[in-house]
Amino acid sequence: MWKGRLAILAILVVSLICGLSMFAVRGASNDQLEVYSWWTGPGEEEGLAAMAKSFEGGNPGVRFVNAAVSGGAGSNAKAILASRLLANDPPDSYQRHAGLELLDDVRSGKVQDLSDMYQQQGWTKVFPKGLVNNLTIDGKIYAVPVNIHRANLMWYTPKTLRELGLSGPPKTWAEFLQQAEVIKAKGKVALALGPEWTQKHLLETVLLGELGADRYDQLWAGQMSWMSPDVGAALATYAKVLAVSDVKSAAGDWQPQLDRVVSGSAVYAVMGDWSSSYLEQTKGLHWQDGYNAAASPGSDGVYDFLSDTFTLPTGARRPDLSRKWLIECGSTDGQNLFNPLKGSIPARTDADAGLYKDYLGWALQQWRDPKVRIVGSLTHGVVANNAYNAEIDSALGLFVQDGDQGKFARTVEQQFRETQ
């Protein structure tokens, strides 16, 4: 009995100590700003530190508290953040992806409207219209973008293409399937894949390439049915692409997915442009010589974007400092400090292009080209709310296993209506 009571007492003591520790970290200091993110990896951690140093330099006596949480590609951080928001204990600012990933927080009153800040800072003039539209929820803007990533890219090594006698990456998914026959005959896999989210990433690029930008947007807006012949044809193409991939022995994450392309066992990988930083810094390859990328088939002239943003939470201890942090995030200096280290490009159209070399230089040129169409990523939180995205995940997992595209289309069509 006593052992049980002692165990309970020990638990209570540990809980009290943890509670006091958290209070000490979050404490009542009026001179600190707690910023919450999932930036703990190479490049992104240094980029955040550079912005933090700039923020402290511009706000003497204020301490920047980096509350970053690592692991799970952001999923661990999001889970802990959810519990803090539920307990009405928000950080002074927290990271979200731009778009409908923020919808739940908006409708539950967890974040503040920043539309006035956009007007004061002139951000509507320096952030592209397509980005601002995707940051707007119910007519108001709730987050400030610090960077831009591109999702619709196909990565390859020029050496492998030369060895196979291929003149270049495919411009359409039909051409990709033709190349896949040649690739298979040479004993290689046409497309490397990773875990389920990378398979979803592939799905959005196939939908974009087969439907085109207008119908892609209409699909996520509920203006085009998943049961339509055009969507059915796109899903059939997706099934054919899966069939020439290594999905049955998929890599454990996106880095080993790319490793298969680097080794030459697979020819292509569809992945976002954080791949560039990995291929250069970790694998030691050089842009256009050691590795290269092209718009995923059928999507040339379209920029399927995602963006990391920061918010002003309801109940922030120092909303005045939170606003100053958001101004840092949206500023030219802040974005130029962060993005070259992170391996992303600035959301602003007036940032110094000379700071962005190799792949990033090409990406920035594409982002600023007024002829390039901007659409939002499904996988990375832009075009679907959290509930709908989760339902797509479940349905896609079954589709990849059983190949029943009719069941998949019916399910996601129904779930769209139920999750809006």
Query: In this structure, how many other beta carbons lie within 10 angstroms of the beta carbon of residue 327?
Result: 17
Residue 23 has pLDDT above 80, yes or no: no
Give all strands (DSSP E) within 129-249, no chain letters: 136-137, 140-141, 144-145, 149-150, 153-156, 189-192
Q: How far apart are CA 296 and CA 114, in angstroms?
A: 34
Residue 237 neighbours by CB under 8 Å, 6+ apart: 173, 174, 177, 206, 210
- Residue 18's pLDDT is what? 37
- The pair of structure tokens assigned to 107 is 């409708």
Full set of structural domains in the chain with CATH: 32-149+308-370 (3.40.190.10), 153-298+385-419 (3.40.190.10)
- The pair of structure tokens assigned to 381 is 């939180």
- Residue 75's pLDDT is what? 72
Residue 352 neighbours by CB under 8 Å, 6+ apart: 332, 336
Residue holding tokens 């006596």?
61
Mean pLDDT on 57-65 = 96
- The pair of structure tokens assigned to 52 is 């933090």
- Residue 71's pLDDT is what? 64
- Residue 8's pLDDT is what? 37
Mean pLDDT on 246-268 = 96
Mean pLDDT on 5-31 = 41
Tell me the backbone φ, ψ of residue 381, rounded to 5 degrees: 85, 5
- Residue 27's pLDDT is what? 46
Residue 28 has pLDDT above 70, yes or no: no
- Residue 15's pLDDT is what? 35
Helix (H) / strand (E) containing 257: helix 254-263
Q: DSSP letter at 355?
A: G
Q: How far apart are CA 64 and CA 31, in angstroms?
A: 9
Instruction: List b or e across 384-418, with b for residues whose CB sees 16 or more CB atoms inside 10 angstroms.
Output: bbbebbebbeebbeebbeeeebeebbebbeebbee
- Residue 29's pLDDT is what? 54
Q: How far apart are CA 397 and CA 403, in angstroms?
A: 10
More confidently predicted of 18 and 146: 146
Q: What are the residue ranges of helices labelled H in 331-385? A: 332-342, 358-368
Please state, in angstroms and as integers, the Cα–Cα distance from residue 48 to each residue in 43, 79, 308, 343, following that order.
Answer: 9, 21, 12, 12
pLDDT in tens, 348-407: 988 889 999 999 999 999 998 989 999 999 999 999 999 999 999 999 999 999 999 999
Residue 176 has pLDDT above 90, yes or no: yes
- Residue 14's pLDDT is what? 32
User: What SS3 string covers 5-65?
Assistant: HHHHHHHHHHHHHHHHHHHHHHCCCCCEEEEECCCCCCCHHHHHHHHHHHHHHHCCCCEEE
- Residue 336's pLDDT is what? 95
DSSP states along 184-212: HHTT-EEEE--SHHHHHHHHHHHHHHHHH
Helix (H/G/I), strand (E/B), else coil: 286: coil
Mean pLDDT on 41-63 = 92
Residue 6 has pLDDT above 80, yes or no: no
Confidence of residue 281 (pLDDT cuts 50, 70, 90): confident
Helix (H/G/I), strand (E/B), else coil: 154: strand
Helix (H/G/I), strand (E/B), else coil: 136: strand
- The pair of structure tokens assigned to 250 is 């998929």
The amino acid sitting at 79 is A
Q: How far apart are CA 275 and CA 343, in angstroms?
A: 9
Helix (H/G/I), strand (E/B), else coil: 308: strand
pLDDT in tens, 296-339: 999 999 999 999 999 999 999 999 999 999 999 999 999 999 99
Mean pLDDT on 271-291 = 93
